[in-house]
Chains A and B, each alone.
Chain A
């Protein structure tokens, strides 16, 4: 494997056995993921809930053992050197893992001690981190009283306290108010500036787009596409036209006609909407409308946009990530 990559996986797989009505069924949660994460980048898994993002991250964090495949993190082999990997990584799960019946300070100190730091260093680090993440005003209160944003800062500090070179973040900004979210994004960027490699999962398009250097689109346990957000969007090579219709029949019929008559790179019918990927969308729009009008198909709404990561997701998986959020 290559030195340039700090996290590498080869054909990483995870099967779960689910039992329903006495029958055993194998569920393939992760179906052969190959990863190559560069040192110092922010790498994002973008995908809906249940796509296998968290499962993959849990395997990388050593708490879930892979069914098969190879993993190398920071030069260590997951199967043989989990303890070294644990020292190299920080992991912040979606639940966070704050002990709410302890104070923030106690949480931080215990975490340091568990990583083998001595008492004095643990104390010093805890103070540094409460300072850095602006927690000084509440660090001596029990964590049960923290707001969502305060708790998330403590989670992040707990993941960073032993100065890992890699940080794994599972849905870092779910449920946060915009202000806390912006704060966390800034902190994640700062960590990158310090040379830390960050692998995060998200189902927020803007998070993947604005925060990540590389995005892997993951769906049904597989990576459907990978690249920088700019490259992924460029690859679509077309504008996105979204036409809304009154009912599903009309949208279906319109989809059929449009795919026959218009030179588009892709036509996808989704519920009452038709997505059209087309070069020079502005110029084509009148033709599209004329065509629909002559077929007595009534368009209720139109929008034209430059491609977004959602369009990338739609192109590669056949569904929209936005739909999932509803």
Chain B
């Protein structure tokens, strides 16, 4: 109970920061919007290749784009934490009897809220471009993105606590995020890829998330891909969250 209450306090504080400086919520939307307007039209003429049925490119592309937003949008939240470590804010929290879990969980929850707003906005933009939305599937997919955000944000925070430096954090996160997105079939379906890339992508937890996202958008909620996707990202989120909390506890020691 105490930890939940403190998580709420930390969440409110982080959310207030975001509301005071909402520019980042929209700056993060810029990249997916560029993909939407400048890249998706290219796919139209590709329709008919394996994994990309003619006339359904929007339906395939948007669910992948949303996973990418969840990945990249949450991957860089650690920068804010580095700053608060440097200015002693985190240390001040650690001297209070407040729960260490709450310090991380409050931030992660804020990241989830920001991401969900972004996902809803991108989806709304995509409807005029021909996206059809199955409400049930869409709500489930939001849950999926929320779990991805928990996983990526926690990882970002763990690295932030360990490195305590923006430069190291930036290069590490870029090094991790780029192969993850290339090997998840976000831009183009992996059905187009040579066999070795497809094999490689099986080691990437987010390729299952992309499959799940596509199945959910097509309204196929009970699909095996959905269940596998959820299980994998939930396990990943639990692991990275635990890692972030553990890093915080060991921060000074």
Q: Provide the B85-106 mask, 1 if CB < 8 A to any CB of A, else 0.
A: 0111101111111100000000
Q: Provide the A85-118 mask, 1 if CB < 8 A to any CB of B, else 0.
A: 0110101011111111110001000110111100
What's the Cα separation between A61 and B252 when bound, in Å? 11
**Is the CB–CB distance between B86 and A95 below 8 Å?**
yes
**Is the CB–CB distance between B9 and A110 below 8 Å?**
yes
**Is the CB–CB distance between A115 and B252 below 8 Å?**
no
User: Which residue from A58, A97, A102 sits with its C-beta under 8 Å from B92?
Assistant: A97
Note all chain A residues with C-beta closer than 8 A to B94: 62-63
Smallest Cβ-Cβ distance to A116: which chain B residue: B97
**Is the CB–CB distance between B97 and A97 below 8 Å?**
no
Note all chain B residues with C-beta closer than 8 A to A97: 87-89, 91-92
The total number of A-B Cβ pairs within 8 Å is 69
Smallest Cβ-Cβ distance to A87: which chain B residue: B97
**Is the CB–CB distance between A93 and B88 below 8 Å?**
yes
Note all chain B residues with C-beta closer than 8 A to A180: none
**Is the CB–CB distance between B88 and A106 below 8 Å?**
no
Smallest Cβ-Cβ distance to B17: which chain A residue: A101
B175 located at the interface, meaning its Cβ lies under 8 Å from any Cβ of chain A in the complex: no
The secondary-structure label for the interface of chain A is: loop
B23 located at the interface, meaning its Cβ lies under 8 Å from any Cβ of chain A in the complex: no
What's the Cα separation between A178 and B89 when bound, in Å? 26
Q: Provide the A69-93 mask, 1 if CB < 8 A to any CB of B, else 0.
A: 0000000000000010011010101
CB of A63 to closest CB in B, whole Å: 5
CB of A101 to closest CB in B, whole Å: 5
What's the Cα separation between A114 and B98 when bound, in Å? 5
What's the Cα separation between A171 and B93 when bound, in Å? 19
B253 located at the interface, meaning its Cβ lies under 8 Å from any Cβ of chain A in the complex: yes
- Known contacts A86-B97, A93-B88, A116-B97; decide if A99 and B13 are in contact (CB<8 Å): yes
Q: Could you tell me which residues of chain A, from 104 to 160, have a CB within 8 Å of some CB in chain B?
A: 106, 110-111, 113-116, 142, 158
**Is the CB–CB distance between B87 and A100 below 8 Å?**
yes
B6 located at the interface, meaning its Cβ lies under 8 Å from any Cβ of chain A in the complex: yes
**Is the CB–CB distance between A95 and B87 below 8 Å?**
yes
**Is the CB–CB distance between A98 and B9 below 8 Å?**
no
User: Which residue from B6, B87, B252 sits with its C-beta under 8 Å from A98?
Assistant: B87
**Is the CB–CB distance between B9 and A96 below 8 Å?**
no
Note all chain B residues with C-beta closer than 8 A to A302: none
User: Which residue from A65, A102, A115 sits with its C-beta under 8 Å from B97?
Assistant: A115
Smallest Cβ-Cβ distance to B87: which chain A residue: A95
What's the Cα separation between A83 and B99 when bound, in Å? 10
A64 located at the interface, meaning its Cβ lies under 8 Å from any Cβ of chain B in the complex: yes
Q: Provide the B67-88 mask, 1 if CB < 8 A to any CB of A, else 0.
A: 0000000000000000010111
B21 located at the interface, meaning its Cβ lies under 8 Å from any Cβ of chain A in the complex: yes
What's the Cα separation between A110 and B252 when bound, in Å? 23
- Known contacts A93-B92, A106-B16; decide if A99 and B84 are in contact (CB<8 Å): yes
- Known contacts A64-B253, A65-B253, A110-B13; decide if A95 and B88 are in contact (CB<8 Å): yes
**Is the CB–CB distance between B97 and A114 below 8 Å?**
yes
Note all chain B residues with C-beta closer than 8 A to A94: 88
Give the interface centre of B86, B87, B91 by most chain A CB atoms within 10 Å: B91
Smallest Cβ-Cβ distance to B20: which chain A residue: A101
**Is the CB–CB distance between A99 and B97 below 8 Å?**
no
Note all chain B residues with C-beta closer than 8 A to A93: 88, 91-92
What's the Cα separation between A262 and B6 when bound, in Å? 68
- Known contacts A64-B252, A110-B13; decide if A86 and B87 are in contact (CB<8 Å): no
Note all chain B residues with C-beta closer than 8 A to A91: 92, 95
What's the Cα separation between A89 and B96 when bound, in Å? 9
CB of A224 to closest CB in B, whole Å: 26
Note all chain A residues with C-beta closer than 8 A to B253: 64-65
Note all chain A residues with C-beta closer than 8 A to B88: 93-98
**Is the CB–CB distance between B87 and A114 below 8 Å?**
no
**Is the CB–CB distance between A101 and B87 below 8 Å?**
no
What's the Cα separation between A65 and B87 when bound, in Å? 21
Note all chain A residues with C-beta closer than 8 A to B13: 99, 102, 106, 110
Q: A97-B92, A101-B20, A111-B92 are in contact. List 11 more A-B contacts (CB 8 A).
A: A58-B252, A86-B97, A89-B95, A95-B88, A96-B92, A97-B87, A97-B89, A99-B89, A114-B6, A115-B97, A116-B97
- Chain A residues engaging chain B, CB cutoff 8 angstroms: 58, 61-65, 83, 86-87, 89, 91, 93-102, 106, 110-111, 113-116, 142, 158
| Pairs A–B under 8 Å by Cβ, sample size 15 | A64-B252, A65-B253, A86-B95, A86-B96, A89-B95, A91-B92, A95-B86, A95-B91, A99-B13, A99-B84, A99-B89, A102-B16, A114-B6, A114-B93, A114-B97
